[in-house]
């Protein structure tokens, strides 16, 4: 079974501050994929990143960076110099590879991020 834990339910920071969203996952599979999605108030989920279990290299994309550590089963997301437009609910998600056609995206409970102007 797969499980994703996002312990931070809500976070508020003042604009321009850095903020890190935590994600801890559980899976018995050796092959799996981790994702981050952003859900703004408009409702759609926006894909941010995908990382496979064999690639522990950290990634930076503009103000966003991700820290993947298999040793602690964590895939944390940092926003640098936060902006009001970053306000949204952020979901971490996991897909474990257990058979074509049977993969399921398991979401964490989400972290509601509010950036205060």
Partner 1 sequence: DTEVTQTPKHLVMGMTNKKSLKCEQHMGHRAMYWYKQKAKKPPELMFVYSYEKLSINESVPSRFSPECPNSSLLNLHLHALQPEDSALYLCASSQDFVAQEAFFGQGTRLTVV
* Binding residues for partner 1 (CB under 8 A): 33, 37, 42-47, 50, 52, 91, 95, 97, 100-105, 107-110
Looking at the Cβ atoms of 56 and 103, the one nearer to partner 1 is 103
Give which of 5, 56, 60, 49 is closest to 27, Cα–Cα: 5
Burial 79-103 (b: 16+ CB within 10 A, else e): beebeeebbbbbbbbbbbeeeeeee
Nearest distance, CB of residue 14 and partner 1, angstroms: 24
Nearest distance, CB of residue 22 and partner 1, angstroms: 15
Nearest distance, CB of residue 84 and partner 1, angstroms: 21
Nearest distance, CB of residue 76 and partner 1, angstroms: 18
Looking at the Cβ atoms of 36 and 86, the one nearer to partner 1 is 36
Looking at the Cβ atoms of 21 and 95, the one nearer to partner 1 is 95
Give which of 67, 63, 33, 39 is closest to 51, Cα–Cα: 33
Looking at the Cβ atoms of 16 and 104, the one nearer to partner 1 is 104
Give which of 90, 43, 45 is closest to 64, Cα–Cα: 90
């Amino acid at each position: 079974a797969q499980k994703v834990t996002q312990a931070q339910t809500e976070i508020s920071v003042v604009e321009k501050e850095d903020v890190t969203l935590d994600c801890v996952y559980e899976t018995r599979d050796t092959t799996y994929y981790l994702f981050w999605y952003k859900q703004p108030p408009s409702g759609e989920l926006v894909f941010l990143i995908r990382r496979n279990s064999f690639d522990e290299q950290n990634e930076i994309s503009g103000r966003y960076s991700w820290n993947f550590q298999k040793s602690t089963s964590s895939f944390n997301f940092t926003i640098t110099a936060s902006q009001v437009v970053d306000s949204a609910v952020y979901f971490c998600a996991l897909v474990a590879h257990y058979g074509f056609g049977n993969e399921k995206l398991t979401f964490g409970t989400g972290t509601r991020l509010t950036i205060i102007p």
